[in-house]
Chain A
Amino acid sequence: MVELRPGARFQSTVCATEVIVVKGTGPAELTCGGSPMVPAGSAERSGEPSADASEGTLLGKRYGDDDDTVEVLCTKAGPGSLALGGVALAVKVTKPLPASD
């Protein structure tokens, strides 16, 4: 379990993936490549993504759950894929905001 809050950064323990929380608060079972994610910079990488969680992450994409309660943004890409509570997180296709600056 990790504690989500906007701005919190997490890393995969089995690939290069890193994410930052854009939306969502509270304890969550956030995994990448089938293994629990940990606060960024807190662990060395070891092992490989499991076969059923290796579709990969894409740099700069937003990932969210179906209920739209959690959104993380991929700041470093890797071969593992993301899941929350055992359910795969999908790339969120959001209508871009108008550029304001």
Chain B
Amino acid sequence: MNLMMLLEMAATAMAGRAAVGTRDAGITCDGLMSRTAALAGRLRASQVEHLVLCDEPGAVLPVALFGAAWGGVPYVPINYRLADGDLRRLAGRAAPAVAVADTSGAQRLAGVDGLEIIERDELLDDPAGGADPAEVGDWAMDPDAAAVLLYTSGTSGPPKAAVLRHRHLVSYVFATVEFASAGTDEAHIMAVPPYHVASVAAQLSQVYSGRRIVPLRRFDADSWIDLVRAEGVSHAMLVPTMLARIVEALDRRGEALESVRFVSYGGGKSHRSVVERALELFPAAGFSHAYGLTETSSTVCVMGPDDHRRWAASDDPDERARLTSAGRPLPGVEISVRCDDGAEAETGAAGEIWVRGEQVSGEYAEGGSQLDGDGWFCTRDSGHTDDAGYLWVHGRNDDIIIRGGENMSPGEIEDALLTHPAVVDAAAFGLPSREWGEEVAVCVVTRSPVPTAEDLRRLVRTRLRSSRVPARVEFVDELPYNDTGKLLRRELRQRFVASEPAAPSG
């Protein structure tokens, strides 16, 4: 298997269809194929081991992704927002490599040992670098070859490179996407950064389904809305912080987006109030909530538009609660929630989420495969399922608060706080406590009329139970998120442990 199978099929059946770019000046499937071939030839000639991509979302992404696959080297997108030293170190780990970068990235990477730098625009204009593009032979079909290396977001430690092999990604697409199923008028706005697994999955899925990719170089809510209008965008994938900002901007502008028929969101915790408002501001859109990890080749569970509508309209509180779930496993994916002793947790009980399936890699360049003997991968997320197989993700296991031997999910406490109309954002985390081992602390972002700490404690006591009531309540201006929208509870914990006061405040 090779990712190139996907592009080859698309170019066979939809040669003249725009694959990436604007309606008027986009690159067709055929054009993508020829650029990819030229880059592949160049990669083979230079005998490098990786293709590093240091750029914002743009038309160069699928050229680089498929070109690397054809050339037989892994595609390694790196985070251009890193400090110079970290960026150069990460790129250096891939040497000998070709690095594709914008002008500023090229300057920042200059002089790294073993790195041949190609500027993005130059690559799009002349992917062969002056060589004859007819020279390139077939791509290798080794399903176990590494296709993509992705540095995981590292909310709990230094970044590790997850290895996604051709078989993981191709299986994912074949199992979940219908070939050439997109209408010729469909377009997908690609705003997630290239080093996020959702960017890789989106490129493959859109090319295979025949949906034009409309890249947005730098995300801000207004540019996103303007591009959606200008390009008649029908499909979008957003991380929760992006969705929240777009909802806020649409409200400010007094606009709704009618052209969008499909919005999927995931990659972090979404606030129910944001999703409910988004349903109104995208009146023609079906919503999907997806759960997945870098190590699982993106989505493993999804709650689609039909579920969203059904559960939003239900009078049964158990069914309505499914609106905050991550839905059910994709075909070919199995989910298991396990207790600390490894036994399957009872329905409704919290435990650690394990995943198995053809798309699940569970492998790091540094530590090898983390799959157990039966092929299961431990996500290190905690969650539970209901009797219909819906999965709820509570958060990273490292974030679980253990108070007096009782395990509590920060997400559950945050959800309770967010039901207060003046609470805009909330984070719950554990702080060391002599009496309880850990006690619950919360940071909240509020708007007027600002509730008191006692109001919030009462709210948690009423909605949950007394053990969940925060010992400490802090009012802050904003919460720390990483650049792909993940809440950094660990950072809050460190901040408060470092500034431990003599007596509890709040």
Contacts and interface: CB of A to CB of B under 8 A. Distances in A.
Interface of A: 6-7, 9, 20, 22-23, 40-41, 59-61, 73, 75, 94, 96-101
Given A6-B358, A7-B143, A59-B13, A99 B235 contact: yes
B9 A60 contact: yes
B288 interface: yes
B286 interface: yes
B304 A97 contact: yes
Top-8 shortest CB links A-B: A60-B179, A98-B304, A100-B290, A101-B201, A100-B299, A98-B288, A101-B202, A100-B302
Interface of B: 1, 5, 9, 12-13, 141, 143, 167, 170-171, 174-181, 198, 201-202, 205, 209, 235, 237, 262, 264, 266, 286, 288, 290, 292, 298-299, 302, 304-305, 330-332, 358
Contact of A100 (B9, B180, B264): B264
Task: Name the prevailing secondary structure of the B interface residues.
Answer: mixed
Contact of B290 (A40, A59, A73, A101): A101
Given A7-B143, A23-B332, A60-B9, A98 B179 contact: no
A6 B12 CA distance: 24
Contact of A60 (B13, B141, B175, B304): B13
A101 B332 contact: no
A22 B172 CA distance: 10
A76 B50 CA distance: 29
Nearest to A60: B179
Contact of B179 (A7, A59, A99): A59
A96 B210 CA distance: 14
- Pick the most buried of A41, A60, A99: most chain B CB atoms within 10 A of its CB: A99
B9 to A, nearest CB: 6
Contacts of B12: 59
A5 B264 CA distance: 31
Contacts of A101: 198, 201-202, 205, 237, 264, 290, 298-299
A26 to B, nearest CB: 16
Nearest to A23: B332
Contacts of A59: 9, 12-13, 179-180
Contact of A98 (B167, B175, B180, B302): B302
Nearest to B302: A100
A97 B181 CA distance: 11
Contacts of A20: 1, 5, 170, 174
A9 B304 CA distance: 31
Nearest to A40: B141
Contact of B305 (A6, A9, A98): A98
5 contacts: A7-B170, A9-B141, A100-B176, A100-B330, A101-B237
Contacts of A61: 179
B198 A97 contact: no
Given A22-B174, A97-B304, A98-B304, 6 more contacts: A7-B170, A20-B170, A97-B176, A99-B209, A99-B235, A101-B298
A1 B113 CA distance: 52
A98 B167 CA distance: 22
A99 B262 contact: yes
Nearest to B143: A7
Given A22-B175, A96-B181, A7 B358 contact: yes
Nearest to A22: B174
A75 B1 CA distance: 11
Contacts of B292: 100
A6 B143 CA distance: 12
Contact of B174 (A41, A73, A96): A73
Contacts of B1: 7, 9, 20
A41 B2 CA distance: 14
A23 to B, nearest CB: 7
B330 A97 contact: yes
Contacts of B5: 20, 75
B332 A6 contact: yes
Nearest to B10: A60
Contacts of B288: 98-100
A38 B308 CA distance: 44
